[in-house]
Amino acid sequence: MIRALLLWIVSAGNLVLSIERFQHRQRLKCKPPQGDRIKTPSAPVGIAGDYDFQMVLVSHDSIPESHVSGTLRLTATSRNHRSSGDRHITFPFYGSSSIELGKLGEVTVAHPVSSTDPDRPGVQVSYDSRDSTLSMMLGNSYGSRGMATDAGVVLDVRTLTDSEIGGRWDNGARTTAPLFGYYCLSRRTRRAKP
């Protein structure tokens, strides 16, 4: 009798966990990206603005484990901060974010993602003309002091429209358990007219 009761309690607990995991997936507005990194013939010009930002941590079997939400702001980079020293890589945008990376797990940053300092921005967008790809770095950036190694989060861009940016993310730091997942940015304000 006691054994049957214990088995029923364990089964009920597993059912509750399954329901919570299902409900968690239903709350996510952000969906995994499809396909490879996008190719753009030149650095995009219209992505400056304010975005709602969601990052989803996935397990090794690609099941959403947890997520964090916040905001992200991108601003056009000044001419002084655009060059990397490598003629193929430029930094057309920089910005800041309110996202709390630590809620996803062990993440190391060189400077806060909330930094609006153009010399050490919380967010830095890079464009590589060799393979026509776009990526973003959170909590680390290339600047006059170089770039910190083993820090930050890299966002590969796989979706880019007038209202959305999305893709996959990886922890740039070496950690005991690798962290990775996908992210979505949804424009909050209309793009300013050029």
Sequence spans of domains, the chain: 1-30, 33-187
Show Cβ contacts of residue 60 under 8 Å, excluding neighbours closer than 6 positions. none
Higher pLDDT, residue 173 or 167: 167
Is pLDDT above 70 for 176? no
Least confidently predicted of 37-41, 88-92, 157-161: 37-41
CA–CA dist 63, 182 (Å, integer): 11
pLDDT of residue 17: 38
User: Does the pTM exceed 0.85?
Assistant: no
| Contact predicate 136/157, CB 8 Å | yes
- Quick one: pLDDT at residue 190? 59
- Asked which of 26-40, 74-88, 126-140, 155-169 is least confident by mean pLDDT, the reply is 26-40
Neighbours of 103 (CB within 10 A): 14
Per residue in 114-169, pLDDT (tens digit) is 999 998 899 999 999 898 889 999 998 886 655 666 678 999 999 898 899 999 99
Query: Percent of the chain at pLDDT above 70?
Result: 73
* Element housing 168 (H / E): strand 164-171
